[in-house]
Structure formats: C-alpha cells, structure tokens
Homo-oligomer: A and B are copies of this chain.
Amino acid sequence: MNFIFVMITVPTLLLDEEKCRRNIRMMAEKARNSDVVFRPHFKTHVSHEIGNWFMEEGVEKITVSSLRMAQYFASGGWKDILVAFPVNILEIELINILAADIDLSVLVESPETVRFLVENLNSRIGLYIKIDSGLRRTGIPFNNPDAVREILNEAGKSGLISLRGFLTHAGHSYKATCPEEISRIHYESISGMAELKYRFMNEFPGLIISTGDTPTCSVMDDFSMTDEIRPGNFVFYDLMQTTIGSCTPDMVAVAMACPVVAVHPERNELVIYGGAVHFSKESITDASGRTIYGAVLEDNGPGWGATVQHAVLSKLSQEHGIVGAPSEFIDRFKPGDIIKIMPVHSCLTAHAMGGYLTLTGRTITMMA
C-alpha cells in the first residue's frame, strides 16, 4: 500500500504537479512564440501555490473572475490583475481599495457603468471593453462600433481610466467537437475583433485585443492576430476538454479519488462517496447519448492511468455517486477501495473541493 492511499478516506481532488506544470509551460511557450501577452485566467485553480508555478514561467499579468479573487491574488503578490467580469458597480468600494494597491483592470460593456466609474473612482484603473464575438453571453456585438465609441468617449472623461482594449471570450468553442470547428470559431471571432481594433486605432492608439478560451489556445499555434491570451482551464484540463479535442486524456492534471461504499454486481454499479457537492453537477453527453458526470480512470499507484472503456460516473446525488462499468471492472472493487475519476469540468470541481492533494501527498490550499 502506498503513502497517498493511506491518507485518502474521503473524496479528494488529486493533482499531478508534473502534468500541471507541463501544461503551464506549454501555454507560456506558445504565447512567447507568438509574441502575445500571456494573462492566464486563475479562476480554475484559485491557489497561491499554483499561481507561483506560473510566476516561475515568467507570468506577471493574470485574469480573475471576481473582485474577491483579485483581492486573494493581490495578497499573494500579483500586481497586474484583470477582473474579466462585467463591473458590478455595487462593489465600487473594493474596486477603489484594490486599484490603490495594484494595477487593476476591469471590464465594461455599457456607457452607464462607465459613467458610474467616472463619477466614483478615486484610484487609477485599466479598462477593457467586453465584446461579444459570437458567444452571445454578454458584451457589445463586435459589429456595433457606435456602442463601442460611446464607451470610449465616456471613459475619456476621467483622468483615472486608462483604456486597455477589447476583450472577448469565444466560449462557443466549448461546443466544438473537433479542432477544425475550434479553428473556424477562432478565426471568425478574431477577425471581428481585428476589425474593431483597426477602426479605432487612429483615434484611440494602443488598444489591444484580448482573447483566449482554452479550446482555442490549445488547438491553435498562431496567435499573431491577437495581443493577449487569457486561457484558464488548460492548467488542469478535464473530460470536457478531452471531448472537445483541446487535450489528450493524459494531459489532464486532476482526478477525484473517492471511497467505494457499496458494490452492486447485479446491476454493474458501484456506489461511491462523491456527489454533486464534490464534482459539481456539470455533465456532458457521451458518445452513446448518456448524460455523464465523469470518466473512470485506471489506478496507477499514487496517480492514475487511462480512462476505462465504458466506465462512467452516471448519477450524482448530493453526496453519492453511481459508477456504471462492465462487470469485469466492477468485480475488482470492494467497499473501502478508492476509485479515481476524471471530472467533467475541473474549474467547478476544484471550486467545490476547495483544495488539492499532490501525488507526493502534499496538500495545496485554495482561496477559502
């Protein structure tokens, strides 16, 4: 029995530090090779220690999804933080506190919000404008330059606002199922952004284009049409990303380790301690049309191996999970064993778990 096995008695999120550092290095190199700014999204890991692995690769600018997260990373020594979430004006106090301390950038998509900032800021901030390049979640449609101009003009009324550029999240790439589709989405998204940049470059020089969801950044090698990339999920990857084609299964750097609490050979199922409060209820549809919440992994000492064919996390209650698998696989288990599972969406699973256990048995904490 090996060291890490002895420690696991409840659902635990394992982190393979080596794979994780390799993912970070790969993306940092890609950004360097394309000569674009690498401003990774830290909402996936939300951990000082993992943040430091990025610092070691030369990263100085980061992205987060809430002011609270910005505060956490500012306390960890990060000095240039973009909150890539439409400004919540109710948090103006925290914006001013943070902006007094670090180089804080925020994201806007309406002139009203900019007017509010102009009137209420008392520290300098950077401003990105949220552009909808096709996802239709939020942002100004890229083909509406008048709305963009209105924001640029409003922002110009404050000496405390530095215009940074146009930001988009081509999150519809998450619906892609092959690299060709990702590539098509990327070029459509980026050409709309480029059009905007060139339209305003004389009046507002120096505005950049900031892009970069994980599927696009993983599949593409050439980022020359953009100025800054902000992928986040790639630090761990997950089952969804392997399905999209962003990564191979062996690049996924996290796995859940869950105690088996019951074995039901008569229906080819295991009951595990590990439910919605551990995995999150994020699901994908597998090749046979079933909704699944994770893929079972071969055990491999402290780590894990390949995914097991036809073995999936098929149901989730609050604390229970049901694993469905071929009988020869089910037969290997008894209550008290540990089973390892690749989560569907590592960002949400990490958030739910609140910390990591490395394969050498070290605990890594997250923002509380």
Interface residues on A, range: 35 or more
8 Å CB contact of A317 from B88, B137, B317, B318: B137
Interface string of A178-190 (1 = CB under 8 A from B): 0000000000000
* Majority secondary structure of chain A interface residues (helix, strand, loop or mixed): mixed
Q: Which of A87, A261, A264, A317 has the most CB of B within 10 A?
A: A261
User: Which chain B residue shows the least CB distance to A277?
Assistant: B351
Interface residues of A in 144-170 (CB under 8 A from B): none
Q: How far is the CB of A297 from chain B (nearest CB, A)?
A: 19
5 A-B pairs (CB sep. < 8 Å) = A10-B88, A87-B335, A137-B322, A138-B271, A281-B282
> Which positions in A face B, CB cutoff 8 Å?
8-10, 43, 65-66, 68, 85-91, 109-110, 112-113, 116, 136-138, 171, 259, 261-264, 267, 271, 273, 276-277, 280-283, 315, 317-320, 322, 334-336, 347-348, 351-352
Given A110-B335, A348-B281, the answer on whether A8 and B318 have CB atoms closer than 8 Å is no
Q: Are B89 and A335 in contact (CB under 8 A)?
A: yes
Q: Are A277 and B137 in contact (CB under 8 A)?
A: no
Residues of B near A113 (CB, < 8 A) are 262, 335
Q: Are B88 and A273 in contact (CB under 8 A)?
A: yes
Residues of B near A85 (CB, < 8 A) are 261, 273, 319-320
Q: Report the separation of the CA atoms of residues A112 and B265 in the bound assembly, to the nearest whole angstrom.
A: 14
User: Which chain B residue shows the least CB distance to A66?
Assistant: B319
Residues of B near A8 (CB, < 8 A) are 90
Q: Are B315 and A137 in contact (CB under 8 A)?
A: yes
Q: Are B348 and A259 in contact (CB under 8 A)?
A: no
Q: Are B273 and A280 in contact (CB under 8 A)?
A: no
